[in-house]
Amino acid sequence: MDSEDRQRRPDAGDMTDETQRFRHRYVPGSSGHHRTLLLLHGTGGDENDLIALGQILEPDAALLSPRGQVLERGMPRFFRRFAEGVFDIEDLRYRTNELADFIDAASKKYGFSTSTLFIAGYSNGANIGASLLLLRPGSVAGAALFHPVVPLVPDTLPDLTGIPVFIGAGRNDPYASPDQTTELAQLLRQGGADVQTFWHDAGHALTGDEVREAQAWLSRLPNPGRVP
């Protein structure tokens, strides 16, 4: 991580509103529906990229969609990498904590509870979503991760007991290999997470089948804030 990159990062005292650290969109949910989806885009996406996906996964949920802070050849990402599949772990840890702090600030600003906040992340967004579970698990209540790999192995595995996780994966994915996806699922299960993996025969692109499976999985989960 070079000094120029460090200088571009704002200190905690630079902003009174922590949510300003990320360009983002917040879409309120329907009255009486208290789940919020944290939408985390893939490389080259932005805060608009997964809004439609969120509306499909749970039409009544609120949506919080930040843009990744890192640029790779002009394309937004959530953390740096040295090459395909070779992550800058120091930057990943920093960006994960930065995102967790943003979530905390956004929950206060927009009035949602992290106890009903679920990740919906794709590719690079799924990877930082998995990193949130491993480094800052109290930030979210669960996750739908589409085409993730193991972002890092923490020094101490967190207690993820009962946290529901859906993983959508392609058997022919050239960027998120089945071995990496299986390793992530095993790592999360070792922490106690309740992991459901859905496999399809396609590659790295999102498929309709996995989105429908994730939608069905999410609909089966309790929504403690729902008004009868």
Q: Which of 88, 194, 204, 209 is catalytic?
A: 204
- Is residue 200 flagged as an active site residue? no
- Is residue 173 flagged as an active site residue? yes
For the chain, the first-to-last Cα distance in angstroms comes to 50
- Is residue 219 flagged as an active site residue? no
The structure tokens 């460090």 sit at: 6
Q: Which of 107, 123, 131, 139 is catalytic?
A: 123
Between the alpha carbon of residue 184 and those of residues 132, 178, 181, 228, the distances in Å are 13, 10, 5, 36
Q: Which of 33, 65, 107, 173 is catalytic?
A: 173
Buried b (16+ CB within 10 A) or exposed e, 125-149: bbbbbbbbbbbbbebbbbbbbbbbb
Query: What type of residue is 22?
Result: F
Task: Tell me which residues are annotated as active site.
Answer: 123, 173, 204
